[in-house]
Structure 1
């Protein structure tokens, strides 16, 4: 479950996990059930289940973010490779032959003359022209950011899994506490 450096950054500083609330392990169920707001086991179990469902929702969002980053990183790397190839061809007079995607599974051949300018899709139907060096610097920065975000997302998912486990254990402990309490009460009724 938790590792020695779980949630600790490179500088040794504990990092926040995207505002994910930490599930507190219920050590002593008897004293926990005496706290205000914990009138019955059903109320507590309902609250723990709500917390569990929130963690599930967070997991869904983080998993989608992870998938998006995992597909984005290879695209950035591929674009960087193309830029490096274009830089090599920049000083020549021979056009570069390439294929580009027109539609799903449909490619077109093209001859690209040597150039020092490229256009990059930035998203939201926005394309900008850059010098090759500027484009390379931007993509390297984007690759670094995406890689860092992927690592952070994976750490957050690991932290979230620990919260699942803690919440599930708490639910089981409260449920078992309630069963024991009911059995004692039923035993007292039978004796009386």
Structure 2
């Protein structure tokens, strides 16, 4: 399935890859500390985005089975609408508490929308709403997974950049020290 938007279009910037450190920092005689600080800030921002996206993914992973279960139940109730006898169901009151009920055929269902809001829907409307919510949640989960992969790549790129700049600076200082020792 193709993604509708790239991660950078969703607010995740692309990390630059430093190929020439001297050119990147503005010359061989420039201080690398401001560049290293910017890289550390960028890594921190990417890690924050990674944590946020991971939490969003976990929420979606919990929500998708609930939506699917609700959709399945509404479809079942719709299929039993014209049944002559009542339908016996077991439903969840809490994580470990279930109850049994006998339902007469129904035309409407009540769905929790969140924030202590419940609305009544015709069966077909409820199925359409739940199908759309399920599709959206699955798409958002796919986007969150793609974003996490992209963020990991950006973090790795910035860590490599940090190592390249640091190693370049160590080499430059060693060469300057050796040149000073030869001159003395």
The TM-score, its normalising length taken from structure 1, stands at: 0.88
Q: Quote the residue 1:23 is aligned against.
A: 15
Q: For the residues of structure 1 that align with 2:56 and 2:120, how far apart are their CA atoms?
A: 28
Given that 2:57 and 2:144 are in contact with CA atoms closer than 8 Å, whether structure 1 keeps it comes out as yes
Given that 1:17 and 1:159 are in contact with CA atoms closer than 8 Å, whether structure 2 keeps it comes out as no
Given that 1:55 and 1:160 are in contact with CA atoms closer than 8 Å, whether structure 2 keeps it comes out as yes
Q: Quote the residue 2:43 is aligned against.
A: 52
Q: For the residues of structure 2 that align with 1:112 and 1:155, how far apart are their CA atoms?
A: 43
Q: Which runs of 5+ in 1 are unaligned?
A: 1-8
Q: For the residues of structure 2 that align with 1:17 and 1:66, how far apart are their CA atoms?
A: 18
Q: For the residues of structure 2 that align with 1:13 and 1:138, how far apart are their CA atoms?
A: 24
Q: For the residues of structure 1 that align with 2:159 and 2:180, how far apart are their CA atoms?
A: 32
Query: How far off is 1:103 after superposition?
Result: 2.9
1:108 counterpart (99, 113, 133): 99
Given that 1:73 and 1:143 are in contact with CA atoms closer than 8 Å, whether structure 2 keeps it comes out as yes
Is 2:116 aligned against 1:125? yes
Any idea what the Cα deviations from partners look like across 1:109-147, whole Å, max 9, x if unmatched?
Answer: 111111011000001111000011100000001111111
Equivalent position SS for 1:67:
helix
What is the aligned-residue RMSD (CA, Å)? 2.0
The TM-score, its normalising length taken from structure 2, stands at: 0.91
Equivalent position SS for 2:10:
coil
Equivalent position SS for 2:93:
strand
Q: For the residues of structure 1 that align with 2:5 and 2:79, how far apart are their CA atoms?
A: 43
What are the equivalent positions in structure 2 for 1:20-169 lying under 5 Å apart?
20-34=12-26, 39-169=30-160
Any idea what the Cα deviations from partners look like across 1:45-94, whole Å, max 9, x if unmatched?
Answer: 11100100000000001001111111111111111111111111101232
2:165 counterpart (174, 179, 182): 174
Equivalent pairs counted in the alignment come to 182
Q: Which runs of 5+ in 2 are unaligned?
A: none
**After the TM superposition, which parts of structure 1 deviate over 3 Å for at least 4 consecutive aligned residues?**
9-17
Q: For the residues of structure 1 that align with 2:110 and 2:3, how far apart are their CA atoms?
A: 38
